[in-house]
Amino acid sequence: MKVALFISCYVNELYPDVAMASLELLEGYGIEVEYPLAQTCCGQPLVNNGDLKGACQAEAHFANVFKGYDYIVAPSGSCVAHIKKYATKASKLDPNYVAVAVKTYEIIEFLQEVLNVTRLPKAVSFPHTVSIHQSCHGLRALHHAMPSELQLPYHSRLASILTLVDGIVVKTPERVDECCGFGGTFCMDEPAVSVAMGQDRVAQHQATGATYIVGADSSCLMHMGAIAKAQNTPMRARHIVEILTGRGE
Amino acid sequence: MHDDDIKHPQAAAEFLQDRPHARWHDSAVWWVRKKRDAQAEKLPEWEQLRALADQIKAHTLSRLDEYLAEFANKAKSNGVTVHFAQDAQEHNTIVHGILAAAHVKKLVKSKSMLTEECGLNPYLEARGIEVIDTDLGERIVQLRHERPSHIVMPAIHLKKEQIGELFEKEMGTEHGNSDPTYLTHAARANLREHFLTADAGMTGVNFAIAETGGVVVCTNEGNADLGVSLPPIHISSMGIEKIIPKMEHLGIFTRLLARSAIGSPITTYTSHFHQARQGGEMHIVIVDNGRSAILGSSEFRKSLQCIRCGACMNTCPVYRRSSGMSYSYIIPGPIGSTLGPSRDIKKHASMAFACTTCGSCSNVCPVKINLHEQLVGQRAKAFDANAVPRLKKWAIQTAGFMMKHPALFDFAGKVQRTIIPIVPEALLKNSAWHKYGRATPDMPKDSFKDIMRKRVQGDKK
Amino acid sequence: MSSREQILNTIRANRPAPVELPDIHAPVFVHYDDPHQQFSTLVETLGGCAVYVNEGQSVLDAVKAHWPDAGQGRIVNLLEGNNAGQSHTELQAQSQSPHDHQNVDIAIVAGQLAVAENASVWVSNANLDCRSLYFLCQRLVMVVPRERMVHTMRDAYAQIKIEERGFGSFIAGSSRTADIEQSLVMGAHGAMAALVVFV
């Protein structure tokens, strides 16, 4: 099995530990992982700002870099949602792009759906209370959990994989899957609303008694982490792969 | 009455300055979302109902010309006068013509977003007709010379104290009394007089049945029913998209509408009108006003399926924190943010960006409109029409260029990472990131790519 | 060209590919073990109440038992037949003008069907000329044969007929509003209270 690691732009620049944890986690299951150095961005920020031509070129670059792998795995629900669901119409009609997109997985989805893991590579203990943050794209585009709007049986990928961690207490906040207000460039275009949403979300996570917010998207975690930091609260935001590899402390 | 120049980010920031009030607004609207959830949970067939409603609407749109003609012919054979209006101006002219011919001095209206869209009230008032909005929330905003901030709860942006002061001034209620029951009953007494003395009544339309030529109007207050059962003239205005094929399809839509809108199993009154009251006359005005053009767009056509329940507003985290007053189009929130830009992208571009693309709206929508995807689609229109700030367009294009050139892309990241920790935070205080309360994230020394590149080079040695 | 033709032509030109009309009768919908129980419990939350009268008891007696002050104001009773209790009633079914109903305290009308899922009653009465009665009265009584109960609105639309000058309405409880701070207030513009009498 030839697996490529796709690391989104802000994870590459701001959260190399998250990228490293992803690599270590996959390698821990005995998988040979490559990290193609020519990779850039999935194109999501361009689509979200209306630049379809630019996005299409970024998507073509993505497909070009990642063709030839059995799987492409990324620790970012939002980017994977873009690749699989929200790419430009032109790319969705391009068989080369589609061939890569169908093999692209968000890392937790990959562990559960492809590898069917029932244990962690090495035993991990995290004796803390964590509150799960369901990032919107992972939730509604990748079905990480059943969205609260739909009347269908409930499940949660993140909660289920966290049961493999020793000593952890997992909580869900009030308004179980409300958006944190990051929203890509929304956080800069609409800073007042973005921060108001983030402050409310941090408070809801905090009200569970948790000291960590755990999610599968570094962008949302960066936003909430920055708000918690500005408020001098003890709340910290951690990507789930950090917890699963014992880096969460 | 509303300001097309509103830009959502600025208007929202202003609304959020009174944070306690904004928090109250958020929780009051969220409460309705929760009531909606509780109703949906009680029906095991909820998702099937949404799927059926979606299919019925999509089918109707695919044969809209036939169903509209059938509806108009049936209504005519029931004795109703049917009018067609291509735009707002023609709609207003038709309505005024009906009223002027009957020497109407006072018109009582129930809630109709279509007449708001057409600007009917100021049009009629300028021609000497007194227009009384009779839905309590509509009446409140009418007396305040505001527009509705929500399509189902027009006065949800106001606190009861503000309404108490307004009623004291307008209806002579007790000073300082802002009890909702007291105020509601005061308005009941006040508006009864208007109902009894009106010369004509007007309603919107929730559903128009092609098979029978009748229209269905749903209210909790009974204002639409009173308004058209007392005066001799009954006018109902409807957009072309309100059509459903058969009466039996109401067995799907009436199950979804009030549950989605207000978390109630049904509205108090679900009234079916096929003829005027005895001795009266009934008119139906069928309005296009840009809708047939949206029908031609495969990307935005689905927005015509909307049944105006407002559930997308109640679930929208941006709407809840910014209120309907922050949106430039008369219909706010997710559905307004596709309908507005469909009408005029330059005026309403900021609405398409007032969205985190969380997707909750598409999931609550009882007719399954892909709202968040439409908003992203509208952004492409804004980009092409140069309706985004020039600096932003430049930045986006630069980013796109770098994405194709990995070395440049990596270099830009490095500049950001190394410079930000050096620049004193005070200098950054006014950036959009920091201004409202976000700290700078810790910046690592090396990017992941730097680390991996070093590792590859190390391997080679 | 008329506006009608202009609009229909544009729609024709922009017509999407055909989509089939689904069969709304195929799915299984909610079914209540005790639809009367479901109705009675629900109608209370909607500003209404459900009572049952038995043979020999008149509807008017049931109304007076429910509202002891009934009879102090004007009552309009549209019921026909044995259990109407007409001897106690001002018989004024046919008003000259819809405004004549403005001082009606209690209106007693026939309802043709009750719906368990939402506690609504279908009213469409061929013997009523002025539909304003339903909305101008202070208190509305709807009288429904107890076997005329369906589970959902889909069942209801399969059975109802519009009998009354093109008018019919599902009425659920009393008129209400929550337009001031989401506080639910009974008695907006229509009836302040509603009573469903099953006979």
Domain boundaries, chain B: 420-459
C188, C176 contact by CB (below 8 A): yes
To which H or E segment does residue A25 belong?
helix A16-28
Please tell me the distance from the alpha carbon of residue B68 to that of residue C4, in angstroms, as a whole number: 10
CB atoms within 10 A of CB B368: 19
Distances (CA, A) of B220 to B107, B195, B251, B311, C177: 20, 17, 19, 17, 6
Helix (H, G, I), strand (E, B) or coil at A40: coil
CB atoms within 10 A of CB B442: 11
- Is A230 in contact with B357 (Cβ distance < 8 A)? no
DSSP state, residue A1:
-
- Kindly state the tokens that stand for B148: 């509705």
Please tell me the distance from the alpha carbon of residue B200 to that of residue B436, in angstroms, as a whole number: 51
Radius of gyration of chain B (CA): 26
- Is C179 in contact with B31 (Cβ distance < 8 A)? no
CB contact B453 to A (< 8 Å): yes
Those of residues 89-118 in A touching chain B at CB distance below 8 A are: none
- Is C4 in contact with B84 (Cβ distance < 8 A)? yes
- Is A226 in contact with B433 (Cβ distance < 8 A)? yes
- Kindly state the tokens that stand for B220: 């909790």
CB contact B440 to A (< 8 Å): yes
- Is C11 in contact with B251 (Cβ distance < 8 A)? no
Tens digits of residue pLDDT in A162-197: 999 999 999 999 999 999 999 999 999 999 999 999
CATH class of A2-114: alpha beta
Please tell me the distance from the alpha carbon of residue C59 to that of residue C141, in angstroms, as a whole number: 9
pLDDT at B424: 67
- Is C167 in contact with B271 (Cβ distance < 8 A)? yes
pLDDT at C128: 86
Q: Which residue of B has its CA nearest to C8?
A: B65
Instruction: Provide the CB-side half-sphere exposure for B349 (13 A, CA).
Output: 17
C96 or B121, higher pLDDT: B121
Distances (CA, A) of A108 to A12, A22, A25, A45, A152: 19, 10, 10, 23, 21
Q: Which residue of A has its CA nearest to B362?
A: A149
Please tell me the distance from the alpha carbon of residue B110 to that of residue B225, in angstroms, as a whole number: 9
Ramachandran angles phi, psi of A114, nearest 5°: -95, -50
Please tell me the distance from the alpha carbon of residue A114 to that of residue B84, in angstroms, as a whole number: 58
Distances (CA, A) of C165 to B280, B346, B434: 11, 48, 65
Looking at the partner chain, which of B137, B222, B251 has a beta carbon nearest the beta carbon of C190? Answer: B222
Looking at the partner chain, which of B65, B155, B240 has a beta carbon nearest the beta carbon of C15? Answer: B65
Looking at the partner chain, which of A38, A50, A151 has a beta carbon nearest the beta carbon of B379? Answer: A50
Q: Specify the CATH architecture of the domain C32-81+92-198.
A: 3-Layer(aba) Sandwich (3.40)
Alpha-carbon torsion B111, B114, B115, B116, what sign? positive
CB contact A19 to B (< 8 Å): yes
Please tell me the distance in Å from C196's CA to the nearest CA on chain B: 14
Please tell me the distance from the alpha carbon of residue A60 to that of residue C189, in angstroms, as a whole number: 61
Q: Edge-to-edge strands of the sheet including A129-133?
A: A169-171, A129-133, A212-215, A236-239
pLDDT at B388: 86
What is the phi-psi region of residue B79: left when phi exceeds 0, alpha when psi lies from -120 to 50, beta otherwise?
A: left
- Is C175 in contact with B301 (Cβ distance < 8 A)? no
Please tell me the distance from the alpha carbon of residue C121 to that of residue C49, in angstroms, as a whole number: 12
Interface residue of B298, B313, B348, B358 to substitute, partner A, most A CBs within 10 Å? B358
DSSP state, residue C198:
E
Q: Which residues of B touch A231 (CB under 8 A)?
A: 437
Q: How confident is the model at residue C87 (pLDDT cuts 50, 70, 90)?
A: very low
- Is A20 in contact with B448 (Cβ distance < 8 A)? yes
- Kindly state the tokens that stand for B443: 């910046």
- Is B317 in contact with A182 (Cβ distance < 8 A)? no
pLDDT at C85: 54
Average pLDDT, chain C: 92
Q: Pairing between strand B214-219 and B207-209?
A: antiparallel
- Kindly state the tokens that stand for C7: 């609009």
B94, B84 contact by CB (below 8 A): no
Please tell me the distance from the alpha carbon of residue C48 to that of residue A208, in angstroms, as a whole number: 40
Please tell me the distance in Å from B299's CA to the nearest CA on chain A: 11
Ramachandran angles phi, psi of A199, nearest 5°: -65, -45
Please tell me the distance from the alpha carbon of residue A140 to that of residue A144, in angstroms, as a whole number: 7
Instruction: Provide the CB-side half-sphere exposure for C69 (13 A, CA).
Output: 4
Please tell me the distance from the alpha carbon of residue B424 to that of residue B420, in angstroms, as a whole number: 8
Distances (CA, A) of B446 to A14, A39, B416: 9, 17, 12
Q: Say if residue C76's pLDDT is above 70.
A: yes
- Is C190 in contact with B221 (Cβ distance < 8 A)? yes
A130, A171 contact by CB (below 8 A): yes
- Is B155 in contact with C180 (Cβ distance < 8 A)? yes
Alpha helices in chain C (DSSP H): 3-13, 35-45, 59-66, 132-136, 153-159
Q: What is the pLDDT along chain A (249 residues), one digit of tens a residue?
A: 999 999 998 899 999 999 999 999 999 999 999 999 999 999 999 999 999 999 999 999 999 999 999 999 999 999 999 999 999 999 999 999 999 999 999 999 999 999 999 999 999 999 999 999 999 999 999 999 999 999 999 999 999 999 999 999 999 999 999 999 999 999 999 999 999 999 999 999 999 999 999 999 999 999 999 999 999 999 999 999 999 999 988
Please tell me the distance in Å from C50's CA to the nearest CA on chain B: 15
- Is B134 in contact with C189 (Cβ distance < 8 A)? yes
Helix (H, G, I), strand (E, B) or coil at A71: strand
Please tell me the distance in Å from C140's CA to the nearest CA on chain B: 12
Please tell me the distance from the alpha carbon of residue C189 to that of residue B222, in angstroms, as a whole number: 5
Q: Which residues of B touch C183 (CB under 8 A)?
A: 160, 180-181
Looking at the partner chain, which of A39, A54, A229 has a beta carbon nearest the beta carbon of B396? Answer: A54
CB contact B21 to A (< 8 Å): no
Those of residues 81-110 in C touching chain B at CB distance below 8 A are: 98-99, 102
What is the phi-psi region of residue B234: left when phi exceeds 0, alpha when psi lies from -120 to 50, beta otherwise?
A: beta
Q: Which residues of A touch B360 (CB under 8 A)?
A: 136, 140, 147, 149, 177, 179
CB contact B12 to A (< 8 Å): yes
Those of residues 129-188 in C touching chain B at CB distance below 8 A are: 129-132, 134-136, 152-158, 162, 165-183, 185, 187-188
B239, B114 contact by CB (below 8 A): yes
- Is B136 in contact with C180 (Cβ distance < 8 A)? yes
Distances (CA, A) of B231 to A1, B236, C102, C105: 77, 14, 13, 21
Q: What is the pLDDT along chain B (461 residues), one digit of tens a residue?
A: 455 689 999 999 999 999 999 999 999 999 999 999 999 999 999 999 999 999 999 999 999 999 999 999 999 999 999 999 999 999 999 999 999 999 999 999 998 999 999 999 999 999 999 999 999 999 999 999 999 999 999 999 999 999 999 999 999 999 999 999 999 999 999 999 999 999 999 999 999 999 999 999 999 999 999 999 999 999 999 999 999 999 999 999 999 999 999 999 999 999 999 999 999 999 999 999 999 999 999 999 999 999 999 999 999 999 999 999 999 999 999 999 999 999 999 999 999 999 999 999 999 999 999 999 999 999 999 999 999 887 788 888 888 888 888 888 888 887 777 766 666 666 666 788 888 999 988 889 999 999 999 988 877 66
pTM of the complete model beyond 0.85: yes
CB atoms within 10 A of CB B284: 25
Helix (H, G, I), strand (E, B) or coil at A133: strand
Chain A: list its partners (3+ Cβ pairs within 8 Å): B
Chain C: list its partners (3+ Cβ pairs within 8 Å): B
Those of residues 144-203 in A touching chain B at CB distance below 8 A are: 147-152, 175, 177-179, 181-184, 186-200
CB contact B192 to C (< 8 Å): yes
Please tell me the distance from the alpha carbon of residue B193 to that of residue B195, in angstroms, as a whole number: 5
To which H or E segment does residue C113 belong?
strand C113-115
Looking at the partner chain, which of B364, B444, B453 has a beta carbon nearest the beta carbon of A14? Answer: B444
Q: Which residues of B touch A183 (CB under 8 A)?
A: 355-358
Chains C and B are in contact, defined as 3 or more C-beta pairs closer than 8 angstroms: yes
Helix (H, G, I), strand (E, B) or coil at C54: coil
Please tell me the distance from the alpha carbon of residue A186 to that of residue C82, in angstroms, as a whole number: 69
pLDDT at B440: 86
- Is A140 in contact with B358 (Cβ distance < 8 A)? yes
- Kindly state the tokens that stand for A179: 């958006």
Please tell me the distance from the alpha carbon of residue A209 to that of residue A207, in angstroms, as a whole number: 5
- Is B452 in contact with A188 (Cβ distance < 8 A)? no
C190, B134 contact by CB (below 8 A): no
Give the rounded distance of the alpha carbon of C72 from its chain centre: 24
In the chain, the amino acid numbered B450 is: D
The three state secondary structure string of chain B is CCCCCCCHHHHHHHHCCCHHHHHHHHHHHHHHHHHHHHHHHCCCCHHHHHHHHHHHHHHHHHCHHHHHHHHHHHHHHCCCEEEEECCHHHHHHHHHHHHHHCCCCEEEECCCHHHHHHCHHHHHHCCCCEEEECCHHHHHHHHCCCCCCCCCCCCCCCCHHHHHHHHHHHHCCCCCCCCHHHHHHHHHHHHHHHHHHCCEEEECCCEEECCCCEEEEEECCCHHHHHHHCCCEEEEEEEHHHEECCHHHHHHHHHHHHHHHHCCCCCCEEEEECCCCCCCEEEEEEECCCHHHHHCCCCCHHHHHCCCCCHHHHHCHHHHHHCHHHCCCCCCHHHHHHHHHHHCHHHHHHHHCCCCCCCHHHHHCCCCCCHHHHHHHHHHHHHHCCCCCHHHHHHHHHHHHHHHCHHHHHHHHHHHHHHHHHCCHHHHCCCCCCCCCCCCCCCCCCCHHHHHHHHHHHHHC
pLDDT at B1: 41
